[in-house]
Amino acid sequence: MSGLAGRAAIVTGGARGIGETYVRALHAEGARVVVADVLADQGKALADELEGARFCELDVTDEAAWDRVVAETLASFGAVDVLVNNAGIANAAPIEHFTLAKWNAVIAVNLTGTFLGCRAVVPAMKAAGRGSIVNVSSVEGLRGSERLHGYTASKFGVRGLTKSLAVELGPDGIRVNSIHPGIILTDMTTRIDPARLQIPLGRPGAPGDLAGAVVFLAGDASAYLTGAELVVDGGMTT
């Protein structure tokens, strides 16, 4: 139904958190999934559990490592049909204390990592005449929030990069969309007090709440969608 059976999908940051649910959901649809992460032990354990999946160690900021991951995916599965750029980090501080190191770290992983991933898979997708790239932004890519300066800038950047790529790559059959999660309870959000949030659906998200959206964007049900922003936030930013 999703058309994902047999397709090859790379999920960055797939070893834990929300990314792990993307890996499991794409695998359940029959995709052959590459778990790409800096967390080797967790990533390998997950790939071992899922028949046909494989783990590739990847720091998304490392240009050469991207070439290796794409080459290994092509060698194993013969294609790269789907890329989910999910790896991300967050940091926060008032602007006077927002160090250059903090800024550079969050821009490097969230924005430059997404750019490098998109660039690395495009030749294989162009050769195949098809592909779906899902870039993970955030509600912080749609609005401003105090103290999250680098994170917000990176996620706005991911949203913008998604649009320029959608325009450029549409004629090649490659779709590029962004997903904008709200507050999802993972290791990234342990400092957030859910009781202080105003969410129309009455609760913060669980990691699995995003998986259906990623399957939709990765698969054929979204065949006429590109450059779109899918907000999955329980109505928080409505």
Between 86 and 222, CB nearer to ligand NAD: 86
The β-bridge partners of 57 are: 37
Q: Are 206 and 212 in contact (CB under 8 A)?
A: no
Helix axis angle for 149-169 and 113-128, nearest 10°, is: 20
Q: Are 49 and 23 in contact (CB under 8 A)?
A: no
Closest distance between ligand NAD and the C-beta of residue 204, in Å? Answer: 8
Binding site for ligand NAD (CB under 6 A): 12-13, 15-19, 37-39, 58-61, 86-89, 109, 113, 136, 138, 181, 183-184, 186-189
Closest distance between ligand NAD and the C-beta of residue 120, in Å? Answer: 13
Between 133 and 183, CB nearer to ligand NAD: 183
Closest distance between ligand NAD and the C-beta of residue 60, in Å? Answer: 4
Helix axis angle for 63-77 and 113-128, nearest 10°, is: 30
State the amino acid at position 76 in one-letter form.
Answer: S
- Measured in residues, the chain has a length of 238
Active site residue 151: yes
Catalytic residue of the set 151, 159, 210, 226: 151
- Whose CA is closest to 199, among 234, 238, 174, 232? 234
- Whose CA is closest to 167, among 124, 118, 115, 226? 226
Q: What is the DSSP letter of 143?
A: S
Between 128 and 153, CB nearer to ligand NAD: 153
Closest distance between ligand NAD and the C-beta of residue 61, in Å? Answer: 5
Between 148 and 165, CB nearer to ligand NAD: 148
Q: Which residues are catalytic?
A: 151
